[in-house]
Amino acid sequence: MTTLFLSDLHLADAQPGITRRFLDFLRCPAREAQAIYILGDLFEYWAGDDDLDDALNREVATALREVTDRGVKVAFIAGNRDFLVGTDFAQRSGVTLLDESVVVNVEGTPTLLMHGDTLCTDDVAYMQFRNMVRKPAYIAQFLSQPLAERKAQIAAIRARSEADKQAKAAAIMDVNQAAVEAAFRAHGVSTMIHGHTHRPADHEHQVDGAPCTRIVLCDWQASRGEYLRCEPGSRTRIALGG
């Protein structure tokens, strides 16, 4: 069985090279896999499923559908950018929407999958924002506005968050060690895969005396992308260049 993991593509009109690389990925390695997990921030933003008529969104959903129609299981965990992805997108693309943290069996190893933003508890302002915008009542109110109004609000939030990021210490935007250990304990696993921090690395942790592995996926940029391939007995990061 071949399982692929990827995250943080941040697909957007402004980055056509990344979209092209993702469509290439869906044409080739994706179709030879049995399962693919996209761990959030597939899109730079998602204003609501009524934006599926947007050219980029439609192209991506259609390309995913060609993969899922071949029997490849594609699952998605929402990121902080695209947590409004909903059932219409799932129906169009054939992708299964998962809860924010799930444990799956990867080649015999129970593995915790998440986007990773919930581990960044030192960023108190972000965690407060997250708590607010993930509430069903907030989401319902947001989605009740016209699409153009939602896009304008998202653009304003993104501009503000870019400015905040410049001011925040780098350490605050990385995971909190206690939150990582708590996640291992809460799910009873010793392996975790997540994205979000854009700091790809394999980390070894000791949790209650037991060795644990935390794999951080790579974000995709104009010049490169990466996915993780898990097969019996091997776990490999595959770089996509050019």
Q: What residues make contact with Mn ion under the rule CB under 5 A?
A: 41, 79-80, 196
Q: Give the separation between CA 190 and CA 162, rounded to whole angstroms.
A: 34
Nearest residue relative to Mn ion (C-beta): 196
Nearest to Mn ion of 1, 163 (CB atom): 163
Measured from the CB atom, is 80 or 93 closer to Mn ion? 80
Q: Tell me how far apart the alpha carbons of residues 3 and 21 are, in angstroms, rounded to a whole number.
A: 19
Least distance in angstroms from the C-beta of 190 to Mn ion = 24
Question: Strand (E) positions, 54-108?
Answer: 73-76, 96-97, 101-106
Minimum CB distance to Mn ion, residue 53 (Å): 25
Cα gap 185→34, rounded to integer Å = 29
To 10 degrees, what angle do helices 55-68 and 16-27 make?
Answer: 10
- Whole-number Å distance between alpha carbons of 157 and 213: 34
Residue number, 72 or 120, with CB nearest to Mn ion? 120
What SS3 state is found at 71?
coil
Instruction: For Mn ion, give the closer residue by CB, 44 or 49.
Output: 44
Query: Smallest distance, Å, CB 123 to Mn ion?
Result: 11
Q: Which backbone phi and psi does 23 adopt, to 5 degrees?
A: -65, -35
Nearer to Mn ion, 51 or 117 (CB): 117
- If the CB atoms of residues 48 and 79 are measured against Mn ion, the closer one turns out to be 79
Minimal distance, residue 81 CB to Mn ion, in Å = 6
- For the CB of residue 57, give the shortest distance to Mn ion in the complex, in Å: 18
Q: Write out the E strands in 63-159.
A: 73-76, 96-97, 101-106, 109-114
- Nearest approach in angstroms of CB 79 to Mn ion is 4
Between CA 217 and CA 48 the distance in angstroms is 26
The least CB distance from residue 43 to Mn ion, in Å, is 11
48: left (phi over 0), alpha (psi -120 to 50) or beta: left
Question: Closer to Mn ion at the Cβ: 79 or 225?
Answer: 79
Token pair belonging to 48: 């609501």
